[in-house]
């Protein structure tokens, strides 16, 4: 039986939704973080961290709330964009990807009997692969089907390779710091986290 979502849970969910908004617009404070005028983001890092620390249900909920806030009109998407139209742009698939990614990452942690560093690395790298698989495939479909700018699937992956380097580095950092945070939060909440 699933436990009820508490006020503390909702605080963590809100915090990660907020971190996603900050991560989307990190180049507003650090404008040099761009490749070919496309801003880099910290969203994959925060998405995976949400799954690692909050678990499948709360991690996915935090990503869903982030997406809904942006769709509703709050400027939380990259470059302070908002609205449902962002989902139909070439990078809209990444917003979709964050929800199942946080869920899968969280589920891997929950199902593991050994909450040591290795499972955090495995879950983190499954997460980054999932983000890129969904996001890049969606980008390829978007530019070919409704944005009328034909691109091969290989070329789409070529474009995303530049961003992948940054995300792999941050995935490693996240996997290294997550176990300590996870155990500290679990202890503070009487092992209620990620349940």
Question: Quick check: 36 pLDDT over 70?
Answer: no
SS3 187: helix
Our count of domains for the chain comes to 1
Six token digits for residue 60: 């996915």
Question: Quick check: 135 pLDDT over 80?
Answer: yes
Residue 168: which H helix or E strand, with range?
A: helix 153-188
Residue 16 lies in a domain: yes
Q: Is residue 118 very low, low, confident or very high in pLDDT (cuts 50, 70, 90)? A: very high
Q: Is residue 73 exposed (0-12), middle (13-18) or buried (19+ Cβ within 10 Å)?
A: exposed
Q: Give the pLDDT score at 194.
A: 46
Q: Is residue 151 exposed (0-12), middle (13-18) or buried (19+ Cβ within 10 Å)?
A: middle
- The pTM (predicted TM-score) of the whole model is 0.90
Report d(CA 61, CA 121) in Å as an integer: 22
Residue 2 lies in a domain: no
Q: Give the pLDDT score at 134.
A: 97
Domain of residue 107, residue span: 7-188
Residue 193 lies in a domain: no
Percent of the chain predicted with pLDDT > 90:
69
Question: Quick check: 152 pLDDT over 80?
Answer: yes
Q: Give the pLDDT score at 148.
A: 87
Q: Give the pLDDT score at 188.
A: 61
29/118: higher pLDDT? 118
Residue 111 lies in a domain: yes
Question: Quick check: 186 pLDDT over 70?
Answer: yes
Helices 153-188 and 43-72: crossing angle in degrees, nearest 10, is 100
Question: Quick check: 122 pLDDT over 70?
Answer: yes
Question: Quick check: 193 pLDDT over 60?
Answer: no
- Tens of pLDDT along 46-104? 999 999 999 999 999 999 999 999 999 999 998 899 999 999 999 999 999 999 999 99
Residue 195 lies in a domain: no
- Tens of pLDDT along 17-31? 999 999 999 877 666
CA torsion through residues 100, 102, 105, 108, sign? negative
Q: What is the mean pLDDT of the chain?
A: 89
Residue 100 lies in a domain: yes
Residue 65 lies in a domain: yes
Residue 96 lies in a domain: yes
Q: Is residue 39 very low, low, confident or very high in pLDDT (cuts 50, 70, 90)? A: low
DSSP sequence for 42-97:
SHHHHHHHHHHHHHHHHHHHHHHHHHHHHHHT-S-BGGGB-SGGGGGSTTHHHHHH
Six token digits for residue 147: 């944005």
Are the beta carbons of 62 and 115 closer than 8 angstroms? no
Q: Tell me the CATH number at 161.
A: 1.10.1760.20
């Amino acid at each position: 039986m699933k436990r009820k979502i508490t006020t503390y849970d909702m605080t963590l969910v809100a915090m990660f939704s907020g971190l996603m908004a900050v991560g989307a617009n990190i180049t507003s404070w650090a404008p040099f973080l761009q490749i070919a005028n496309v801003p880099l983001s910290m969203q994959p890092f925060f998405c995976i961290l949400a799954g690692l620390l909050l678990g499948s249900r709360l991690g996915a909920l935090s990503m869903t709330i982030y997406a809904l806030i942006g769709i509703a009109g709050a400027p939380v998407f990259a470059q302070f964009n908002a609205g449902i139209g962002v989902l139909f742009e070439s990078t809209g698939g990444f917003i979709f990807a964050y929800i199942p990614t946080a869920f899968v990452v969280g589920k891997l942690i929950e199902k593991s009997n050994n909450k040591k560093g290795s499972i955090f690395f495995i879950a983190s790298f499954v997460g980054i692969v999932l983000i890129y698989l969904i996001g890049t495939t969606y980008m390829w479909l978007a530019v070919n089907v409704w944005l009328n700018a034909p691109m091969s699937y290989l070329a789409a992956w070529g474009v995303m390779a530049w961003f992948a380097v940054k995300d792999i580095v941050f995935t490693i950092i996240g996997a290294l710091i997550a176990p300590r945070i996870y155990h500290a939060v679990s202890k503070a909440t009487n092992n209620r986290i990620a349940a």
